[in-house]
Structures are given as C-alpha cells and as structure tokens.
Amino acid sequence: MKRVAFEMKRVLFADDSSLMRKLVFQTLKEGGFEVILASDGKEAVEKALNERPDAAVLDIRMPKMDGISALREIAPLGIPVVMFSSLTREDSQVTMDALEAGAFDFVLKPGGIVTLDISEVKGELLRKVKAAIVSKRIPLVRRVAIGPKEKCTSASPANAALLVAASTGGPSFVRDLVQSLDGGGRYAVLIVQHMPPVFTKFFAERISSSSRIPVREASNGEPILEGVAYLAPGDYHMEVSMDPNPRIILHQGPKINYVRPSADPLFISAARRFGRKTVAVILTGIGSDGTNGAIAVKANGGTVIAQDEKTSVVYGMPKNVAESGSADFILPFDEIPDRINEIFANIV
C-alpha cells in the first residue's frame, strides 16, 4: 500500500535572542512544524522570499531591520505574520502599528525567567500559528472615511447598547466599526476584544483619536452613558449592572472560553439590562466566545449580527454563533454598520 506523504507546514521565526530562538524552535517543532530561523529582520525577509514559509513569527525589536519593517515586506508575499511582543508601553504601541499594517495577530513574549515562562505562551503561540496557516488570509489594511473629530457625547445614562466581540483579526474591524458609527448618542457601545493588559488602553486611545464618539478603556463602577464606547480592560471580565442608571462592573473571575475578558458575561448581563434594545455583533476570532451571550441576547428580544465567513480573518466565533441559530443576520463586514444604524433607528 502506497503511503501518502504528510506535508509539514513551515514556520519562519525571527528573534535576535539565541535563547529565545532555541526555545521557540523546540516549541514549534513539538507542535508539528518545520522551523526556519532568522536572527534579525533583514534575514527574516530574505528567508521569507527564498523559502516561502506558511507563516512567520517576528520579534518586534531586532537589529538591522525591526519586526514591523520586516512585516511590511513579508505580509505582501501572502505569508501571515504573528508578532512576538513584550508587555511594555512602547511595545504595545508598536504592536498596534503592526496590527494596522497587516499582522495576523500577536503573542506576548515570556517575561521573567524565560525557561520557566515559555510553557505559559506555548499553547497560545501554537493556536495562533495554526489559525494563521488555516485561514490563509492576511488582515486587510482597512481605512474608512472619517467625519469630523468633534466628539458627540451625551450625559444621559444609556438605555440601549451595541455589544461587540472580536478576537484574532479583530482590531482593524473593531476600529472601522466604531469609526463608522454616526455618533448620534442614542446608545452605548460595549466592546470585548481579546487583548492583554496595557494593549487595551492603547487600542482604545487609538480608536478614539479618529472616531466621532469617545472610546475609553472601561473603569469599574463608571456610569454607562449614551454616545460613549467602553473597551473591556485586558485580564478583566466586563459586565453591566442592573441599576436604573447602568454601571460598568469589572472583575477577575475565572476565564470563560479560555479567555478574560470574555464576551459572554458582557452579553448576558447587557441582555438582561437592555432587553430588546440590545444589538450584539460577533466579529472574526478563534473559538466560541460570544455564543452563549448571543443566545441570551436573542432570548431577551435583542438582535444578533454575525460576520460572514468570506470577510472574517478567522471564522470561529461568528461561525459558532451562526450554528447556534441565534444570529438574525450573517453579513459581510461592510454591511454591518448600516444594519446597526437601521436597527437602532427603529428601537431607540
């Protein structure tokens, strides 16, 4: 009987630390990948051109050519890139630049004693590399027409809410969605984007700088107001209180769907508080986070929108919502903002 050869996927990993190269090489090898190593960004670009790997993982800071410069040359080759980033203020900003430049996603580098911490990122690294290869999609560097930067705010407590959930491939879609909102102040916007601490703060600031509505990282106990967008902080679940004047509740309960923040507690609590005046949007991402929440939104009379497969970078979260039967609409991303405006025009 003739054997069919298994085609091992090839991953390029670039980092100027020899110890990190050794550890990640072993991690990727154990994950079933063939690994190509580079010690700087220039070498990474050369190897990407010559060896055409199925995916690349790039350190942010490298000699000769940094990670984001290498990304800008590798991504156009059709090679999905995962950035390897430190949990620092400076690297957080550069990682946001990388996501806007077309990076598939990012993984936090181990901190402290590297040999002890590599196991903490192993699962996430392998999941995201596999997702990048399977999706075979490079996030589009998207831009939407932005109106005046004057913020349209309201001091009134929110009585309706737009809920947004996203994971891998989501930042550019979340940004474009918020920037497309008209800023009429008729509802609050509550967002869960799977991101670690520090990153969520800068992500909120970036969106806010070019949106008609203010966007901020949520704080525990603050009032939920019309015409304001609140982003769940990294490592905290975000919920909505049942008060007549709703407030943000942040907590560090156990991870849900392997993540914190999770969309489910936000969606479930918001559905109970806002009822039919709830619109939930589930965008691209790995896994099933948001499915139980979408079911709750539907059960409480709200509306659920799932991004379609064609425009999703990873068709995981919206796929699970669609298969649950809770999605009222399954739409390409570009049709979602108009549908949101239509729905709220009829309920607020």
pLDDT, tens digit, 9 for 90 and up, residues 277-287? 999 999 999 99
pLDDT, tens digit, 9 for 90 and up, residues 14-73? 999 999 999 999 999 999 999 999 999 999 999 999 999 999 999 999 999 999 999 999
Residue among 336, 295, 279, 339 nearest 312 (CA): 336
Token pair recorded at residue 117: 């911490």
Any idea which residues carry the catalytic annotation?
Answer: 167, 194, 289
pLDDT score of 135: 82
99's CB contacts (< 8 A; 6+ apart) are 83, 105, 106, 139, 171, 172
125's CB contacts (< 8 A; 6+ apart) are 24, 27, 28, 57, 82, 107
Q: Which domains does the chain have, with CATH numbers?
A: 10-135 (3.40.50.2300), 161-347 (3.40.50.180)
Amino acid at 169: G
Q: How far apart are CA 132 and CA 323, in angstroms?
A: 22
Q: Residue 238: helix, strand or coil by DSSP?
A: strand
Q: How far apart are CA 41 and CA 60, in angstroms?
A: 9
Token pair recorded at residue 134: 């399977």
Taking a C-beta distance cutoff of 8 angstroms, is the pair 177, 149 a contact? no
Give backbone dihedrals phi and psi of 93, rounded to 5 degrees, phi first. -65, -45
pLDDT score of 134: 87
pLDDT score of 3: 42
Comparing 7 with 64, the larger pLDDT belongs to 64
Taking a C-beta distance cutoff of 8 angstroms, is the pair 275, 187 a contact? no
Q: How far apart are CA 23 and CA 15, in angstroms?
A: 11
Residue among 246, 245, 286 nearest 266 (CA): 246
Token pair recorded at residue 132: 């990048």
Mean pLDDT, the chain, integer: 91
Q: How far apart are CA 227 and CA 185, in angstroms?
A: 4
Token pair recorded at residue 114: 């590297």
